[in-house]
Structure 1
């Protein structure tokens, strides 16, 4: 059975502002009901009211009954009632001048039919119907109309007597501000420039990273056409990254025409998955985004989707909320089962296969820890990382019993030599001071993750020895090469803090065959006041093919203009050092070492958790 588009046209006398208007051949209101998209067990519809009188009408409302369906949501009107349903005008579309129209849309579960529309404009009348097919053929057509307002879907129909009604029709949907499917923006909805549609346009903040987010349902895994309506009366083009489902797919330029009231359009093909998709525009220039009036999306089964909701509370994701694992309690003051972390750790088998938690109460734990038991989470109390301190004070020059130095690796306060270790809400410190390499954490293993941790030291604070590692919302501080090693490690939203003079922040020793080394996603690079301006490089290559990348990271003024330097006999010609949209006083990209690279948007888009780690998605990254 083919899906249908049904129009119920009713011309009646109009009651406006409490005054009954005289009916005549040219004085009446038209109310139309249209099925805009039908996928068999559900559909979307549009009801349009048009003032065909010679006088202005206010505060319209309509009601209707769905014989075989239930309405789940509506947009551009206030929905009330439960079959019959009533839709009332919003403030911005309540007043209709002579000849003006207002439309609202709705989504329903069930079978579409031919209901009668009643209300203060429509009154009571019988319906007349007009039916057209609304199914997909082998040659899809794109339909887009600038006259469509506020998330109204328009069917782009195809005739096919054999097409199944379960195949969603191709349609265009206009997504306006303040309507279903419009989720958020870093700015305001403004009306100061004429020519916009809907209730206004989105004027974002004038910063890199300013963004707008939409949520869109699609029927198929396919490419959909999107048209962005924008205004740019500024002095230069404005560039933005287009992200679909959190993946940057394209960089778009929004050219200037030096007139904020002359609106332009940009067309782009976007890859959607079947179901709910997020679409995000992110500014890549300091001027923010162009003024965005609306987006129009064309394809099969396009409808607005509910916006994503944030996690209920941060605590719901915290290690302290886990109850499904064995839990070993540690307290330095003797108030728990174990007084030291080592004592709790020693009760776990070296071939452990059961995820286990060691929960650590605030206190100072002066232990030199070697962690070789897999599948263990070291969990400090939420918000107590600064007072939950694992510390030791060996330096590379510290002597062993035989009189030889323990070396850099031997100096670590905490050493991990196993897989599947998590740490949260904890400080790891090497208190040796300056004068020698002194490692706080040596991490060697696969799938190691750290969140809300503080790693404190001076030279060589964090030794990312090898394996795969993820750090989120951590504070890592030191002086010289204080993040170094051969691991593939991602640092997301961390603070990298210099506490004294040093040649470089990082010293990667990435193997030539490893595509990613140390990757910094967002976050800040800061320094204490005693660190001289322009005195610290972003990195130097400990091994010839050392790799490090800073993506959208804010760099303090202590970062040198050249950015990258070589170590010892190594050359920058083989090093793999790169940046993308770094900001701040230290982001002097024009003066960078010529061997380093400023990534394009397409290249930067490959720096995702999925690409870097493959099948492993750290739970702390979700």
Structure 2
């Protein structure tokens, strides 16, 4: 099934949520929603019962989904919304793909947790997607997730959650000094948490002392493989979130980091530099437990 969404209303639906809601209940075949260039100011949910969904934009710089909820925004009953209801795009479907889009939470800096993409799917793929926000930009909650050539920006814990997520050739951009890129909550029995392959990290002008991660839960796992890091990354690399016991259970790893922010000698002693043999085990099929994202 092919559905078209146009912000001008000239073709198909004018609202992405209306397009999703038009899919017949119980429909099982794959659905492509072609999103024409434009700014879509709406909060969008892909429900758990949805069939395999592809949100297909034409260009990430001209096809933008944006909203501005934050953790302090009043919910329907007047109470504060909290982090997990702030997502501009919330995904609960078993199989989901997004390509050539921008997903933005425009709440702004200093407003607290404000999620752009809330990904609680079984299997999710993002290709050439820009994820824009400040604190808690991307909630990689559960399941297996794959990000290819994506741009992700933020300031505090801007990639967080318990999913197994592979980031290939992605660009991470630090917007504030003394921030944190990741806050993983990897389950104890998970072999992999967040793996970054051949990525790069940059910072805004004057931004420094940014940590690669801190453990939201005791068994956080994050690995940076062949990642280019600018000077915004702090020498020690990793933070224990004020809980020294998590230094024993967290798994923070690097292999062949390069650039001004890569300094193995300065890294905290409880992180690890992988051997060539260990790094070679970080392959797509291994990380994603046999699932290959090209199939979606």
Normalised by the size of structure 2, how large is the TM-score?
Answer: 0.96
Displacement of 1:434: 1.6
Conserved? CA contact 1:350–1:374, under 8 Å? no
Q: 2:237 aligns with which of 553, 563, 568?
A: 563
Give the Cα–Cα distance (whole angstroms) in 2 for the partners of residues 359 and 340 of structure 1: 12
Cα deviation code 1:45-93 (max 9, x no counterpart): xxxxxxxxxxxxxxxxxxxxxxxxxxxxxxxxxxxxxxxxxxxxxxxxx
Are residues 1:584 and 2:259 paired? yes
TM alignment of 1:22-171, pairs within 5 A:
none
Are residues 1:456 and 2:129 paired? no
Are residues 1:375 and 2:52 paired? yes
TM alignment of 1:211-230, pairs within 5 A:
none
Partner of 1:514: 190
Count of aligned residue pairs for this structure pair: 292
Determine helix, strand or coil for the equivalent of 1:345: helix
Displacement of 1:374: 2.8
Partner of 2:19: 344
- When residues 502 and 393 of structure 1 are mapped into structure 2, their CA distance, relative to the original with a 3 A threshold, is farther
Are residues 1:433 and 2:108 paired? yes
Determine helix, strand or coil for the equivalent of 1:607: coil
Displacement of 1:620: 7.7
Displacement of 1:334: 0.9
Normalised by the size of structure 1, how large is the TM-score?
Answer: 0.46
| Structure with the higher fraction of residues in strand conformation | 1
Are residues 1:501 and 2:182 paired? no
Give the Cα–Cα distance (whole angstroms) in 1 for the partners of residues 236 and 175 of structure 2: 21
Conserved? CA contact 1:471–1:492, under 8 Å? yes
Displacement of 1:418: 1.3
Give the Cα–Cα distance (whole angstroms) in 1 for the partners of residues 24 and 138 of structure 2: 27
Partner of 1:524: 200
Of residues 453-462 and 369-378 in structure 1, the stretch that sits farther from structure 2 once superposed is 369-378
Displacement of 1:350: 4.6
Determine helix, strand or coil for the equivalent of 2:114: coil
Conserved? CA contact 2:184–2:193, under 8 Å? yes
Conserved? CA contact 1:352–1:375, under 8 Å? no
Q: 1:484 aligns with which of 147, 155, 160?
A: 160
C-alpha RMSD of matched pairs (Å): 1.3
Conserved? CA contact 2:31–2:51, under 8 Å? no
Gap runs ≥5 in structure 2? none
Determine helix, strand or coil for the equivalent of 1:548: strand
Q: Which has the higher contact order (CA 8 A, sep 6+)?
A: 2
Gap runs ≥5 in structure 1? 1-325
Displacement of 1:447: 1.5
Determine helix, strand or coil for the equivalent of 1:409: helix
- When residues 352 and 537 of structure 1 are mapped into structure 2, their CA distance, relative to the original with a 3 A threshold, is same
Displacement of 1:568: 4.2
**Quick check: which has more Rg, 1 or 2?**
1
Conserved? CA contact 1:439–1:462, under 8 Å? yes
Displacement of 1:445: 1.3
Give the Cα–Cα distance (whole angstroms) in 2 for the partners of residues 568 and 393 of structure 1: 31
Displacement of 1:615: 2.4
Are residues 1:409 and 2:81 paired? no
Partner of 1:141: none
Give the Cα–Cα distance (whole angstroms) in 2 for the partners of residues 536 and 615 of structure 1: 33
Partner of 1:116: none
Conserved? CA contact 1:492–1:520, under 8 Å? yes
Determine helix, strand or coil for the equivalent of 1:566: coil
- When residues 358 and 585 of structure 1 are mapped into structure 2, their CA distance, relative to the original with a 3 A threshold, is same
Cα deviation code 1:298-354 (max 9, x no counterpart): xxxxxxxxxxxxxxxxxxxxxxxxxxxx21011000111111111111111353321
